[in-house]
Amino acid sequence: MSSQPDQPIELYRPTWIEIDLDAYARNVDALASRLPQDSRVIAVLKANGYGHGSVQLAQACADRIAMIAVALLEEAIELRRAGINTPILLLGPLTTNQVPVAIAQDIAMGLTGPESLDALVRAHSSLGGAPARVHLKLDSGMGRMGFMPSDLATLADVINANPWISVEGIYTHFANASSPADPYTEVQMERFGRMLGQLRDAGVSAPLHHTSNSAATLRGFVSRGHFVRVGLSLLGGEPLDTGDTRLERVLTWRSSIVRLKEIPAGHPVGYGTTFIASRPSRIATLPVGYADGYNRLLSNRGEVLLRGRRAPVVGRVSMDLVTIDVTDIGLAAPGDPVVLLGRQGDEEISAEEIAAKIGTIPYEVFTSISERVPRVYRTGEDMLVKSGVHPAIERGTGD
Ligand SMILES: *Cc1c(COP(=O)(O)O)cnc(C)c1O
């Protein structure tokens, strides 16, 4: 893989996320090895690879997967500009203005409904006959994007009348695959099958079908030859509401103690004085806050790892700082490494744990880690490839 020159990460406050690209690659292989014959992985890398860095993840998995899927045109272009030549599917929806750019960048387009189809046909007059590779998205019960059964006759007419539309794939998306107790995924599979039949009878078919996200894939909803669109699972997240299907951890969010003080009983900590020490306490400050994506709902609720043990967040999480109570961790000292998310010693704080505390899902915990947190990429024995460096700091070093 291409390695960027080392950046002056030492000029940053000690807060960063570390991404284990080897673990990501192993997860891709582990997941692929469970698929039926002829089925392959589409790595979903939208939203900057769920905050992990789409270019780096793409480089780590490019020769192991069939395709990359992203949500936005700019996400696809970023990958192409970084030299990623893997097939890319733009999940969309599409606008007319985007179509020529997508075609020029060799990006397959998800057609998510009559509006996308119109956009494609309208754009085509300016394309000089270039073929457009598309994947048809069918609504088998998600109710969000996709063609409804009643749209299919017109869809087939338009496709049959425009031979430059090359239907490469047909797909659908499951609404509740994360809940194994809910039979709705089976219902959607059946509807998808019926809709494929409707299209086939109207003369439209595709060499490729893909239906399953991480949850459905891990539950075995993969027909032979169907591809799977997997995001969270490859990042070591748990896609099932109740389950233990996690692959290897990929991301660790690190920080360290920059201020350690003794406060007497009765002394408050933080905005709103929501925490008042009930005993003489040692309070440590970490240089990370809600502007970094450490959710403010973790005020007086979160925990971090310090010296392999859990230390509670006390007081409000502020924009740039978090305070933790280290009274019970006797040896705690300034400069001590702290883990906000990930493993330290025998303890782990997972994205699922944080998500449960703040009433969300691990996806949002990952995608909330903001751009101002540097990304450090680990690959090989001890090699660190550093990225996400702020231009002001690059200039500051005279580079
Ligand atoms: C995000 C997304 C996926 C991936 O979902 P995971 O649960 O992360 O595997 C698959 N398909 C579509 C259409 C998506 O938007």
Q: Which of 70, 213, 233 to mutate to test the pocket of ligand 1 (most atoms within 8 A of CB)?
A: 213
Per-state percent for the chain, helix, strand, coil, to nearest 5: 30, 25, 45
Residue 88: closest CA among 53, 24, 133: 133
The CA distance from 387 to 369, in Å, is: 15
Does the C-beta of 232 come closer than 6 Å to ligand 1?
yes
The two beta strands, 41-44 and 259-263, are: unpaired
**pLDDT score at 137:** 98
pLDDT digits (tens, 9 = 90+) for 171-205: 999 999 999 999 999 999 999 999 999 999 999 99
pLDDT digits (tens, 9 = 90+) for 193-242: 999 999 999 999 999 999 999 999 999 999 999 999 999 999 999 999 98
Task: Quote the percentage of the chain above a pLDDT of 70.
Answer: 93
Does the C-beta of 173 come closer than 6 Å to ligand 1?
yes
The two beta strands, 107-111 and 132-137, are: parallel
**pLDDT score at 139:** 98
**pLDDT score at 398:** 41
**pLDDT score at 392:** 65
**pLDDT score at 71:** 98
Res 397 pLDDT > 50: no
Q: State the pTM of this model.
A: 0.95
**pLDDT score at 381:** 66
Res 290 pLDDT > 60: yes
Mean local confidence (pLDDT), 99-107: 95
**Cα–Cα–Cα angle for 268, 270, 274, rounded to 5 degrees:** 65
Q: Which of 129-133, 244-248, 345-349 has the lowest mean pLDDT?
A: 129-133
Res 386 pLDDT > 90: no
**pLDDT score at 91:** 97
- Cα distances from 316 to residues 214, 265, 275, 324, 338, in angstroms, run 35, 18, 8, 10, 18
Token pair of 149 as six digits:
């059964």
The CA distance from 61 to 45, in Å, is: 11
**pLDDT score at 399:** 42
Going by alpha carbons, the residue nearest to atom 13 of ligand 1 is: 173
Active site residues: 46, 271
**pLDDT score at 391:** 62
Residue 212: closest CA among 197, 192, 235, 238: 192
Res 385 pLDDT > 60: no
Task: Quote the percentage of the chain above a pLDDT of 90.
Answer: 88
If you measure from the C-alpha of residue 92 to the centroid of ligand 1, how many angstroms do you get, rounded to a whole number?
A: 12
Does the C-beta of 102 come closer than 6 Å to ligand 1?
no
Q: Which atom in ligand 1 lies closest to the alpha carbon of residue 363?
A: 8
Grade residue 22 by pLDDT with cuts at 50, 70 and 90.
Answer: very high
Q: Which of 42, 109, 221, 229 to mutate to test the pocket of ligand 1 (most atoms within 8 A of CB)?
A: 229
**pLDDT score at 92:** 87
**pLDDT score at 349:** 98
Mean local confidence (pLDDT), 282-299: 98
- Cα distances from 252 to residues 24, 270, 319, 347, in angstroms, run 13, 26, 21, 13
Grade residue 1 by pLDDT with cuts at 50, 70 and 90.
Answer: very low
Average pLDDT, the chain: 93
DSSP 213-264: -HHHHHTT---TT-EEEESGGGGT---SSS--------EEEEEE--EEEEE-
Res 21 pLDDT > 50: yes
Mean local confidence (pLDDT), 76-90: 98
**pLDDT score at 188:** 98
Does the C-beta of 295 come closer than 6 Å to ligand 1?
no
**pLDDT score at 118:** 95
**pLDDT score at 11:** 81
Res 10 pLDDT > 80: no
Mean local confidence (pLDDT), 45-60: 97
pLDDT digits (tens, 9 = 90+) for 363-374: 999 999 999 999
**pLDDT score at 39:** 98
pLDDT digits (tens, 9 = 90+) for 246-279: 999 999 999 999 999 999 999 999 999 999 999 9
Going by alpha carbons, the residue nearest to atom 3 of ligand 1 is: 213
If you measure from the C-alpha of residue 101 to the centroid of ligand 1, how many angstroms do you get, rounded to a whole number?
A: 24
Res 295 pLDDT > 80: yes
Grade residue 116 by pLDDT with cuts at 50, 70 and 90.
Answer: very high
The CA distance from 254 to 342, in Å, is: 8
